[in-house]
Structure 1
């Protein structure tokens, strides 16, 4: 087994070809340097230096060994640097779950910021609905999640990162399209495309609670998990729907959107993580993301979706 201290003494002496100067560079005297090199030669079973008068030069074996010894020291320094960076969370891997809504703008913007601040962290992305992300936390397949905040038996912590209003999606030509704003009571008994109570339970719960306050009864024709499918059914004239304002980004033809009058219900997007996680890379990424979203909210307190018609 090679001793890195002995290898370092050899490389310095081989580079300087002067034991006195090499010893000075290593902050030691010449006798200990010579002793370290002799020990290395005994370990290798070869002579690395030969004296020619008052000078020294490398033997053939010494020249061969110098290249590998230099690489060994470089790798050693690189390993030390890597482990120190890892301990500070500046390198490593972070697995991020995100919903389709988060993937449109939130995640790309966050990744650009991460690339500038934490360039050596490897980010693995998994697109999952909110319920699936809760399950992924349980299976330890994601480290951070960007999801709608839903109840979980796990020890998860949530940070609100974005809010947007709910709006009504209508098939083009629907009688309600003549209104600039929709009263919730106007949706009474309307054919309605509703979020699934299982996989879309965040929106299902918020919409049902919102309508219950107005004593609105819906004629639910379909339960659907994903926003694009709800929009497709609305476009086909099979019903109306209530969606987050960001649904307008999908640009479905023959679908019109209207804001909801006298309603303050917001669709929330949160960053979630396990409270017992101890991965330095995850901690560093979470702190960076927290600062990123705080700065974003400070400069853009009103999102484009909030100003939707």
Structure 2
């Protein structure tokens, strides 16, 4: 097994062809350098230098070995740099789960920031609804999740990263379209397209809680998993619905949106991670995300002033 210290002494001497100058480059005296090179020659079973008086030159074996020795030192230095960067979270892979709502602006903006700050981290994306992200954490197939805050058997840490208002989705021509804002009581007895209590658990629980606390009773006609499909049902005139404001980005024709007048209701988006995760790249990405979203909130607050 080659000793990198001995190889380093050889390369310095082979480059300078002067043991005294080579020793000075390595911040050592000449006798220890000569001894290291002798040990290397003994290990290899060849002479690497012809020594004539104070003059040294490479043997044929020395010239052959110099090219490989130089590559070996370069690889060793690269390996040291790589492992240090990995320990600092500057390299590695981060697997991110995200909902469709997070995919419009939240995730693209974060990835753009990460491309600048953490260019050597490889990001793998998985578009998953919130409950599917919980299962992905359980199977250890994602490291970070951008999801609606739902209960989990996993020990997950959640941090709020975004809030958006809830809006009423109406089929064009519906009588409630005549109002600029809609009071919750106006939805009483309306045919309603509701999120699924399983796949859309966050919104199902949220809306049922709002209806119950305000003594509003809607006529649920369908339970649907995804917002785009809910909007398709609304467009067909099968009922009204309440969705996060980001659903307006779907630009469905024959669907109009109105804000709620008497209920301050927000849809939350959280960043989630396993409490026991120890991947430095994930930690670095998570800290970047926290700062990125904090900067966005500060910027948004400045714009509102």
The interval holding the TM-score normalised by the smaller chain is over 0.9
Shift of the alpha carbon at 1:185?
1.5
Q: Does 1:189 align with 2:181?
A: no
The question of 1:217 aligning with 2:213 is answered no
Mapping of 1:54-69 within 5 angstroms? 54-69=54-69
5+ long unaligned stretches in structure 1: 305-309
Residue in 1 that maps onto 2:258? 258
Question: For residues 1-309 of structure 1, what are the structure 2 equivalents within 5 Å?
Answer: 1-52=1-52, 54-301=54-301
- After superposing the two structures, state which structure 1 stretch, 216-225 or 192-201, moved more: 216-225
Distance in 1 (alpha carbons) for counterparts of 2:29 and 2:83: 32
Q: CA deviation at 1:103?
A: 0.8
Tell me the distance in 2 between the aligned counterparts of 1:202 and 1:26: 64
Listed as ranges, the gaps of 5+ residues in structure 2 are none
Deviations 1:76-132 (A, max 9, x none): 111111111222212111111110100110001111111111111111111110001
State the alpha-carbon separation in 1 of the partners of residues 279 and 171 from structure 2. 48
Alpha-carbon offset, residue 51 of structure 1: 2.8
CA distance in 2, matches of 1:22, 1:302: 60
Q: CA deviation at 1:291?
A: 1.0
SS in structure 1 at match of 2:283: helix
Return the TM-score normalized by structure 2. 0.96
**What is the distance in 2 between the residues matched to 1:263 and 1:185?**
10
Equivalent residue for 1:307?
Answer: none
1-side partners of 2:27 and 2:180: how far apart?
A: 80
How far did residue 53 of structure 1 move?
Answer: 5.3
| TM-score between the two structures when normalised by the length of structure 1 | 0.95
CA RMSD of aligned residues (A): 1.5
